[in-house]
Structure 1
Amino acid sequence: MMIPPSQSLMKYDNPVLVSKNTSAKTPKKTTKPKQNPAIAALGSGGPIPAAPKGKLPPMDSLSNPPPEEILNKILPAREWTENGQLWRQFVSSTPATRPEVENLQGELSKKLQQRQARETGICPVRRELYSQCFDELIRQITIECAERGLLLLKVRDEIQMTIAAYQTLYESSVAFGMRKALMAEQGKADMEEKIQTLEEDKRDLERQVLELKAKCDAVEKRETEKRLLEEKKHSDEIQNLKKINQQLKAQIESIVAPGKK
């Protein structure tokens, strides 16, 4: 039994068996169907690649080919393997009816709710679903008018390149912000280390100031005591000299006094 690939808003024809491998040793492997490179890049967080150039023929050359050929050129078929068998599924070339368009809108709203897509901001899920819806609109319009389909394809590719430019700008700004944050953290660590060193120097200087103040107080106290001792000694010498002076004066007076008589 074939396991179909993941459902998409794009309308596809029934899958076709491309190759069959009957080897019993072939491991069971299921690969994801080919996806729009822009959608795949957006879901993985990588930059959205630019639209391929030179692969689509000019509009004038598309007037004759059937719609199937045009659709296969602008919307490639998706492939996957199941039990060693390669399956391929082309986009449908059946024109869309009004009920199908209304159903597409309902399916888009349903899938947005089922996959819990965010209503605002950046959301890869919402972007992927809207890209599938836009591809389906391109398919429907291309069947009716190839020129309008190719014009819408250019619009889609331009939108994808604009998103890629904004995403690149965002990633570069985030990287720049991270570098600035790391530089700020490094500068903060250096400043904290410098502050710690200065605080240690301050404490050393304060300790030296206290030691010098203590030495100054000790010297001042010693000099004060020395001065007091010197003053006392000087005062004692003066008192002794005065006493000696009085004794000498008394002796002179005692000597001079008898001569007067």
Structure 2
Amino acid sequence: MAERIIPSEDTLVKYENPVLVTTHPEKRPPISPTPGTSCVTQLTAEIRKETEEILNAILPPREWEEEGQIWTQQVSSTPATRLDVMNLQENLDTKLQQRQARETGICPVRRQLYTQCFDELIRQVTINCAERGLLLLRIRDELNMTMEAYQTLYCSSIAFGMRKALQSEQGKTDLLEQVAELEGEKSVLEKQSAELKQKTEQLERRAAELRAAEEKKHQEEIEALRKTNMQLKAQLEGIITPKK
């Protein structure tokens, strides 16, 4: 396998140099312990190997293809110093400013950078104590699961709010249509009422005219009968009264 120095992806996690993965690796004889090698050295190598396996399980190696060649890159197993921690904090602040992450509220950029910083801290702790690293991994997974639950709840609430807004908008449209329909019926009824009122007034005037004509005719008949009665009374008195 060949190695080359390639600037790693824009991440706060510290990685080893990329390694070219060969299709047919050379067969190497198993490494036998060198005579004179102390048990402490062998134990240290086994602990280092176990730590690398735990690191690869926590932060899986990255793989990509370039110019037909497959490269892989594992997280660094080099212990971190105090200076590395200070540089990590400075890099975090720098990237937050460069990528214009929001200081408050929901910000995917800020969350991504802090996640990378947490992964780097897990890497550093795991090298010194694998148990603490695994415990931090458990905490990280629990935080991610909680965050995903909140995101799901947020998306559900957004969808629920949108449905309610659409329903209210549809209900408003239906009410407006109902109002327009009732206003149309009101206009028709008002028109019918005006027509009926006009007919009623016409009928009342006609009835008044007919009543006045009937009364006038009745008065004329009464006057004619009174005159006839007076004439007949006069004639009767003339016949009854003796002549002197």
Shorter chain as denominator, the TM-score bin is 0.7 to 0.9
CA-CA distance at 1:4 after TM superposition: 4.0
CA-CA distance at 1:69 after TM superposition: 1.7
Q: Tell me, yes or no, if structure 1 residue 18 matches structure 2 residue 24.
A: no
Q: Tell me, yes or no, if structure 1 residue 159 matches structure 2 residue 143.
A: yes
> 1:45-56, aligned counterparts within 5 Å?
none
> Contact conserved, 2:12 with 2:92, CA < 8 A, in 1?
yes
TM-score (norm 2): 0.85
> 1:1-80, aligned counterparts within 5 Å?
4-19=7-22, 65-80=49-64
Structure 2, unmatched stretches of 5+, are 24-45
Alignment correspondent of 2:127: 143
Name the SS for the 1:120 alignment partner.
Answer: coil
> Contact conserved, 1:117 with 1:126, CA < 8 A, in 2?
yes
Alignment correspondent of 1:107: 91
Higher CA-based Rg: 2
> Contact conserved, 1:9 with 1:104, CA < 8 A, in 2?
yes
TM-score (norm 1): 0.80
CA-CA distance at 1:66 after TM superposition: 3.0
**Separation in 1 of the partners of 2:57 and 2:156?**
34
**Separation in 2 of the partners of 1:64 and 1:197?**
83
Q: Tell me, yes or no, if structure 1 residue 239 matches structure 2 residue 223.
A: yes
**Separation in 1 of the partners of 2:139 and 2:50?**
23
**Separation in 2 of the partners of 1:235 and 1:204?**
46
Q: Tell me, yes or no, if structure 1 residue 81 matches structure 2 residue 80.
A: no
**Separation in 1 of the partners of 2:152 and 2:70?**
36
Name the SS for the 1:258 alignment partner.
Answer: coil
Count of matched residue positions in the alignment of Structure 1 and Structure 2: 219
What's the Cα RMSD here? 1.9
Distance 1:234 1:192, change over 3 A: same
CA-CA distance at 1:190 after TM superposition: 1.3
CA-CA distance at 1:169 after TM superposition: 0.8
**Separation in 2 of the partners of 1:239 and 1:208?**
46
> Contact conserved, 1:3 with 1:82, CA < 8 A, in 2?
no
> Contact conserved, 2:6 with 2:17, CA < 8 A, in 1?
no
> Contact conserved, 1:5 with 1:80, CA < 8 A, in 2?
no
**Separation in 1 of the partners of 2:190 and 2:87?**
83
> Contact conserved, 1:76 with 1:90, CA < 8 A, in 2?
yes
> Contact conserved, 2:6 with 2:18, CA < 8 A, in 1?
no
**Separation in 2 of the partners of 1:2 and 1:63?**
27
Q: Give runs of ≥4 in structure 1 deviating > 6 Å.
A: none
Question: 1:158-190: per-residue Cα shift (whole Å, max 9, x none)?
Answer: 000000111111111111111111111221111
After TM superposition, the structure 1 stretch with the greater mean CA deviation from structure 2, 155-164 or 81-90, is: 81-90
Question: 1:194-253: per-residue Cα shift (whole Å, max 9, x none)?
Answer: 111111111110011001001100100100100110111111111111111111111112
Alignment correspondent of 2:169: 185
- Percent identical among aligned pairs is 63
Question: 1:129-166: per-residue Cα shift (whole Å, max 9, x none)?
Answer: 00000000000000000000000000000000000111
Name the SS for the 1:119 alignment partner.
Answer: coil
> Contact conserved, 1:11 with 1:92, CA < 8 A, in 2?
yes
Structure 1, unmatched stretches of 5+, are 21-61
**Separation in 2 of the partners of 1:223 and 1:5?**
107
Among 154, 166, 169, the alignment partner of 2:153 is: 169
